[in-house]
């Protein structure tokens, strides 16, 4: 397909329109017709002009596909959509970037002292993209939608060549934001459309259900996720905070529709090893479901910046652990980091997550923090170092939101 055509329409190889689109696209290349019969012989001719080519294409498109194709100038995003193929799955990076702090005031003090600003996150994004951390994870509830809006605004400022290195993931909240009203699977596509509007994007790379609690069956949720991919609204789908038993019905429904369940995003770090010790990581790995690790630094606790003089803010509820246990773990992280040329405690903690086969998505509020995260790439802990850190790591806590702690019927979370 030529770069000045747009395929806006949401379709995939499993779409009923796939055959029509495939056949039509073959007609978009001009081929001079030559017959052997004298009466119909078309003499060899000069290559037709570019204007003729576009007129020919326009005629074919407007005649054959009036209901599914439209003309406009193709944006860089649309070029990427066509090149990668909507619905073709998603290749996850070694590490991504969580952008909860971008626009969130209540937890991360966006726009206030100690929080991020538009300038600081723009500078952070530059480092993120240059460092290969351009997998941005946001959600409709982060900052009541402000995080999505800021991501969309920042992406528009990026040069085309940098924009191509960015992937965007967002999430569907199982409860109507700012209320206690439960949602159903029928709310998923409208919510995704609202997220796309805030992001100002034609599709996202990964769409996730933020947590269990939808008032629908697993099969119904799986069907809604499949439709999100097939309609072209997203390239891949995942879940978050799901127990293995909870994601299985979704996985099987998606499998029948030819759509993989790409990921399960859970809190996983040296301060919360439950997804590993409970068997979730291993069971997901068997099915090809990647683990995305949120709060891989325990909301800053594993960076070493908190201690007796500087306490962790009360709002940082993930990764809670006693001061004594945290001090011992951070001391070991410093020791291991020193053996790797002066790596920081946070960089060692992120590397530990990657050594476990998970994809950490640490946050950053400025360029310095983004650069700090990037320092976890390009090297690996030894098996012995990982084991020594395991011994000091904490199993972590559970709550009614996180159902990811156990598999095989041992989950005690309601």
Among 265, 87, 298, 287, which Cα is nearest to 170's?
265
Contact residues for 241 (Cβ-Cβ < 8 A; gap 6+): 210, 211, 212, 265, 266, 267, 401, 402, 403, 404
Q: Are 167 and 134 in contact (CB under 8 A)?
A: yes
92 vs 160: CA distance, rounded Å: 21
Selected catalytic residue, list 30, 110, 142, 203 = 142
Q: Are 45 and 32 in contact (CB under 8 A)?
A: yes
To the query of whether residue 142 is one of the catalytic residues in this protein, the response is yes
The tokens for 268 are: 């996983």
Residues marked as catalytic: 142
């Amino acid at each position: 397909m030529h770069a000045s055509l747009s395929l806006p329409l949401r379709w995939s190889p499993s779409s009923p329109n796939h055959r029509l689109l495939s056949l039509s696209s073959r007609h978009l290349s001009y081929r001079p017709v030559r017959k052997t019969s004298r009466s119909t012989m078309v003499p060899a001719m000069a290559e037709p002009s570019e204007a003729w080519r576009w007129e020919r294409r326009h005629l074919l498109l407007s005649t054959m596909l009036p209901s599914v194709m439209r003309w406009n100038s193709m944006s860089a995003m649309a070029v990427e959509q066509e090149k990668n193929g909507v619905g073709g799955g998603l290749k996850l990076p070694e590490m991504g970037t969580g952008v909860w702090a971008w626009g969130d005031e209540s937890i991360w003090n966006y726009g206030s002292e100690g929080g991020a600003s538009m300038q600081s996150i723009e500078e952070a994004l530059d480092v993120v993209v240059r460092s290969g951390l351009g997998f941005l994870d946001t959600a409709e509830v982060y900052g009541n939608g402000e995080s999505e809006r800021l991501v969309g605004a920042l992406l528009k400022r990026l040069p085309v060549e940098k924009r191509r290195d960015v992937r965007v993931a967002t999430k569907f909240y199982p409860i109507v934001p700012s209320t206690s009203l439960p949602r159903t699977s029928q709310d998923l596509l409208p919510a995704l459309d609202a997220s796309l509007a805030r992001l100002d994007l034609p599709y996202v790379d990964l769409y996730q259900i933020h947590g269990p609690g939808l008032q629908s069956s697993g099969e119904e949720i799986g069907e809604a996720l499949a439709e999100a991919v097939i309609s072209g609204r997203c390239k891949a789908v995942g879940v978050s905070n799901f127990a293995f038993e909870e994601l299985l019905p979704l996985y099987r429904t998606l499998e029948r529709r030819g759509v993989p369940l790409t990921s399960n995003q859970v809190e996983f770090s040296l301060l919360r090893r439950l997804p590993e010790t409970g068997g979730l990581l291993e069971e997901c790995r068997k099915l090809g479901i990647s683990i995305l690790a949120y709060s891989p630094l325990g909301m800053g606790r594993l960076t070493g910046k908190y201690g007796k003089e500087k306490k962790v803010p009360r709002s940082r509820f993930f990764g809670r652990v006693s001061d004594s246990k945290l001090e011992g773990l951070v001391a070991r992280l410093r020791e291991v980091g020193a053996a790797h040329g002066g790596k920081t405690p946070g960089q060692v903690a992120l590397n530990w997550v990657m050594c476990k086969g998970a994809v950490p998505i640490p946050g950053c509020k400025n360029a310095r923090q983004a650069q700090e995260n990037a320092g976890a790439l390009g090297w690996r802990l030894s098996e012995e170092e990982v084991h020594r850190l395991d011994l000091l790591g904490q199993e972590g806590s559970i709550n009614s939101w996180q159902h990811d702690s156990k598999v095989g019927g041992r989950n005690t979370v309601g």
